[in-house]
Amino acid sequence: MNRFERPALRAMTGYTFGEQPQDGSVIKLNTNENPYAPSPAIAEALARFDVATLRRYPSPFAQGFREAAAALHGLTADWVMATNGGDELLRLLITTYLEPGQPLATTEPSYSLYPVLAAVQGCPTVTFDLEADFALPEDLGARAEAAGAGLFCLVNPHAPTGRLFSEGALETLLSQFSGVVLIDQAYVDFIDEDQKAAALGLIQRHDRVLLLRTLSKGYALAGLRFGYGLAQPSLLEPMLTKTRDSYNVDAIAQALATAALEDQAWAHDNWAKVRRDRAALKAALAARGYEAPPSQTNFLFPTVPSALDAATIKDQLKAAGILVRHFPGALGQRLRITVGTAEENAALLAALPGAP
C-alpha cells in the first residue's frame, strides 16, 4: 500500500481497458476501433511533416486543426477545442465543471470511464437506468437535478447499446437539468445518413452543452490520440486557458488530425462500409439466435441465446483468436461486438456457437 496516495484514490479502482494485444493476428472486435487503415492522406501528411519543426513547441491551441474542424462544421475556430483523445476532454470537463463532492450524472449502462474520472476529482457518480428498450426515461433530467449533479454525461449514439436518442429527448433533458451537459458523440460518424444528427443546434441554443468528437473511431486513428470538443466559446474558455496542459496535442498529431478531417471523401466511404457491414452482421447474428437492438454505432450489443452463457462464449472466442467485450452484471447475457471487416465478421460468425 502507498501511504501517500490520496484517500479518495485509494478507495477507487482505475479504468478497466479492453484487451489490447499487440499481436496483429488477433481479430479485435472488443474496443470499437475502425477495422480499416486510415486515409492515405495521413501517410502523406506524415511524410511531408518537417521534423526540424519539432524543436519548437506546437501551436498551443492547435489553430490549424481548429480551423479545419470549424470549416467542416460550419462554425468559427473559437467553437472548437482540440484534445489528446476524447478522454482528455472528459477529464477537463470534470475538473473544470465539477466541484469536488458534486455528483456527475450519467445513464446505466454508459461509458465506464466517467465514474473513474469523477472519482479522481473526488466526485460521486449518480446513475439512472435506461428504459428496457434503452430509451431515455422521460424524467431523467429532473432526477439528475434532484440529485444535485453539476454535469450530465450522455453518450449519443449510446454505448454500449448502440441506440440513438433524438434531439427532442436531449432537449427534454436540458429543460429539466440546469447543469453542464456533455453529449459524447464518439460514434456519431456511423449514424445512418437519413438519421444523421449532428446536434449542432443544441450547442447553438445552449451555452452549457458540449459535444465530444474523436478521431479514434470514424477516422481510424485511435493510436493518434486526438479528439475535440464543440461548444460555445464561453464554455471552452476555462478549459483552454486554465485546466488544460499548455501543449496538450503534439505537432505531429495536429498535422495528421487536420489531414484526416480534410479527407471527407475517405471518411464518408469508410462510414458507409461500416454501416453496410453492421447491417449484414446484425442479420447474420440474428439468424444464429443472437438478437441485437438497432445500432447507430460501429458495434452491436446482442443477447446470447438463453441456453448459452455470454462470459463463456467470450472466452471461447478468445481461444479462437477473436476478442469481443463482455460486461458482467445486469447486461451480462450480452456481448458487445465491434463491426469488423467482412472477413473478420465471417470469422466471428464461424466461431460463434449457435443455440442448441
Residues of this chain that bind ligand PLP (CB under 6 A)? 32, 85-87, 111, 155, 159, 184, 186, 214, 216, 222, 227
Measured from the CB atom, is 161 or 214 closer to ligand PLP?
A: 214
Q: 446536434: which residue's cell?
A: 199
Which of 155, 159, 164 shows the shortest CA–CA distance to 184?
155
Chain centroid offset of residue 270 CA: 17
Hey, CA dihedral for 234, 237, 238, 243, is it positive or negative? positive
Q: What is the DSSP letter of 339?
A: -
Measured from the CB atom, is 324 or 352 closer to ligand PLP?
A: 324
Tally of residues, the chain? 356
CB of residue 310 to ligand PLP, shortest distance in Å: 20
Strand partners, 82: 228
Measured from the CB atom, is 222 or 348 closer to ligand PLP?
A: 222
CB of residue 32 to ligand PLP, shortest distance in Å: 6
**For every residue of 291-331, which 3-state class applies, written as one string?**
ECCCCCCCEECCECCCCCCHHHHHHHHHHCCEECECCCCCC
Measured from the CB atom, is 32 or 96 closer to ligand PLP?
A: 32
Measured from the CB atom, is 162 or 179 closer to ligand PLP?
A: 162
Backbone angles phi, psi at 38, to 5 degrees: -70, 175
Measured from the CB atom, is 103 or 160 closer to ligand PLP?
A: 160
CB of residue 18 to ligand PLP, shortest distance in Å: 8
Query: Using CA atoms, how far apart are residues 142 and 138, in angstroms rounded to an integer?
Result: 9
Measured from the CB atom, is 223 or 356 closer to ligand PLP?
A: 223
CB of residue 87 to ligand PLP, shortest distance in Å: 4
Strand partners, 106: 127, 153
Hey, CA dihedral for 187, 105, 84, 301, is it positive or negative? negative
CB of residue 17 to ligand PLP, shortest distance in Å: 10
Burial 47-57 (b: 16+ CB within 10 A, else e): eeeeeeeeeee
Query: Using CA atoms, how far apart are residues 217 and 35, in angstroms rounded to an integer?
Result: 9
Radius of gyration over every alpha carbon of the chain, rounded to an integer in angstroms: 20
CB of residue 154 to ligand PLP, shortest distance in Å: 10
Inter-residue contact 65 to 261 (CB < 8 Å): yes
CB of residue 184 to ligand PLP, shortest distance in Å: 5
CB of residue 305 to ligand PLP, shortest distance in Å: 27
Provide the 3-class DSSP secondary structure of residue 6: coil
